[in-house]
Amino acid sequence: MDVRAKRSGTRFSRSHGFSMVELAVSLAILIILTGMAIPALTQSLRAYQLNDAATRLSDILKFTRYEAVRRNTTVDFRVKQNGTAWNIWTDWDKDGVMDPTEKQSVIAGFVTLLPAGSTGLPGPNSISASLGVAPPALDPSRSGANGFIRFDARGALTPLLNAFILYVGSSTNIQYGFRAVVLLPSGATQVWSAPQGGTWVRVS
- Is pLDDT above 70 for 105? yes
Inform me whether the pLDDT recorded for 107 exceeds 70: yes
- Please state the separation of Cα 61 from the chain's center in Å: 16
Question: CB–CB of 56/191 below 8 Å?
Answer: no
Higher pLDDT residue, 16 or 176? Answer: 176
Q: What is the pLDDT of residue 15?
A: 55
For the four alpha carbons of 99, 185, 198 and 59, in that order, the dihedral sign comes to positive
Measured CA distances, 175 to 44, 156, 194, 197 (Å): 13, 35, 11, 9
Q: What's the burial of 180, exposed, middle or buried (CB within 10 Å: 0-12/13-18/19+)?
A: buried
Q: What is the pairing mode between strands 85-91 and 75-82?
A: antiparallel
**11-15, 84-88, 136-140: segment of lowest average pLDDT:** 11-15
CA distance 161 to 86: 24
16: pLDDT strictly greater than 70: no
Residues 6+ apart with CB under 8 A from 187: 65, 151, 154, 155, 156, 157
Task: Report which residue type is found at 102.
Answer: E
pLDDT tens digits for 27-70?
Answer: 878 788 777 767 778 889 999 999 999 999 999 999 999 999 99
